[in-house]
Amino acid sequence: MLKDARESTILPQLAQIDQKLTAMAHALAETPMLSHTHGQPATPTTVGKEIANVVHRLRVQVKAIQGTEILGKIAGAVGSYNAHIVACPSADWPGLASRFVASLGLAFNPYVTQIEPHDFIAELFHACERYNTVLLDLAKDMWGYIAKGYFKQRVVAGEVGSSTMPHKVNPIDFENAEGNLGIANALFTHLAGKLPISRWQRDLTDSTAMRNLGVAFAHSMIAYSALLKGLGKVEVNESALQADLDTNWEVLAEPIQTVMRMHNVESPYEKLKELTRGRRVDAAGMRSFVATLEIPEDAKQRLMDLTPGSYIGAAAQLARAI
C-alpha cells in the first residue's frame, strides 16, 4: 500500500508542486521585493528567489521520500523460520523469503520479529513531515504576503469571499493547506514515533495505529491540492512591492557601510546606525550622506546609483538557476 501510494499518488502530486513553483521562480526572478527579518524591513530580494528557496528545500525532501526503501519480511512467528525449518529442513528459507519479497517489488529485511519493525515507515514519514513543514512555511508566508498586498488574488466567479463581508477575498486556499498540513504532520509524527516500538517480539499497538496511514496521506493530498489552487489564483502586485521598496531607503545602510569599510572609512557601522536606526531616510537623505564620503569616485557613483529595487545581489540569477 505504501509503495503504491508513494509511486502512483504522492510523488506525481509533489512533481506538480515543483513544476508550479519552479515556473513562478523563473517568471518572477527579477521582481524586486523588500525582505523582512524579525518582521522588520531588511535587505531586498526578489520574489522569484524566495520561491526558488522553497523549491530547493522541497527537492531535498522529495529525494528522501523517493529514497526510502519499502521493506518486507517472511520469517515466521518470531523471525527465525522455526516452523519452516521443522517442516522442511532442507529448504533455504532465508533465500526463498528474500526472493519472494523481492518479487513483490519490496526490499527484504532479514532481521525481524513477528513483524517487520516499521523503521522504514518512520523514515518515510519523517521525510513526508519535513516536506510538509516546508510547504507549511510557504503557506504561512503566502498568507502574509497577501495580507501585505504583495500578492493579489484573482476573483473566482461564484466564490464566497467572506460570509459577512462581501468585499473580501480571503486567502482560504492557503489557510486550508495550513490546516490540513498540520493534521497530516501530527499523524506522521505520532506514527513515526509509535510504529517502531513493539513490546518484545510483538504487540498489537501497531495494528490499530496503522489503520491511520492513509489518513495522514489523505490530509497531505488535500493540502497539496489547496496549495496548488491558491498558487494558481495569485498574481504579483508590483506597485505595492515598489512602494514598499521606495519607502525603505534605509536598507541601503548595509551596502554603504560595507563599501566604507572596504575603503577604511572610520566607524562605518556606527555612522550608518546614527543616520538610519529607527528612522526613515529618503533617497535624497541617503545620497546626501554618500556625497560626503571620502571614497574613490567609482565606488561613490556605484552607491549613488543604487536603489532599494536594484540592490538585489545575485537573487535573479539564483532564481533562474533553480
Lowest mean pLDDT among 39-48, 158-167, 258-267, 313-322: 158-167
Domains of the chain in sequence order? 2-73+112-239 (1.20.200.10), 247-321 (1.10.40.30)
In order, the DSSP letters of 1-52 are -HHHHIIIIIHHHHHHHHHHHHHHHHHTTT-EEEEEETTEEEEEEEHHHHHH
Per-residue pLDDT at 156 exceeds 80: no
Of 26, 35, 36, 38, which one is the catalytic site residue? 38
Mean pLDDT of 104-122: 96
pLDDT per position as a tens digit, 204-262: 999 999 999 999 999 999 999 999 999 999 999 999 999 999 999 999 999 999 999 99
Mean pLDDT of 296-314: 96
> pLDDT class for 277, splitting at 50, 70, 90?
confident
> pLDDT class for 1, splitting at 50, 70, 90?
confident
245-263 per-residue burial string, b: 16 or more CB within 10 A, e: under 16 = beebbbbbbbbbbebbeee
For residue 72, list its beta bridge partners: 108
Rounded Cα gap, residues 128 and 300, in angstroms: 50
pLDDT per position as a tens digit, 220-231: 999 999 999 999
Of 36, 56, 80, 162, which one is the catalytic site residue? 162
Per-residue pLDDT at 161 exceeds 90: no
For the chain, where are the alpha helices, taking DSSP H only?
A: 2-5, 11-27, 47-67, 82-87, 93-103, 119-148, 172-194, 205-209, 213-233, 238-246, 253-262, 268-276, 283-291, 297-305, 315-321
Contacting residues for 12 by C-beta, under 8 A, at least 6 apart: none
The yes-or-no answer on residue 162 being catalytic is yes
Which of 195, 68, 73, 194 lies closest to 120 in space, CA to CA?
Answer: 68
What pLDDT was estimated at residue 165? 54
pLDDT per position as a tens digit, 66-102: 999 999 999 999 999 999 999 999 999 999 999 999 9
Average pLDDT, the chain: 94
Mean pLDDT of 133-144: 97
Which of 138, 134, 141, 137 lies closest to 61 in space, CA to CA?
Answer: 134
Here the cell at position 194 is 509509535
What pLDDT was estimated at residue 119? 96
For residue 41, list its beta bridge partners: 36
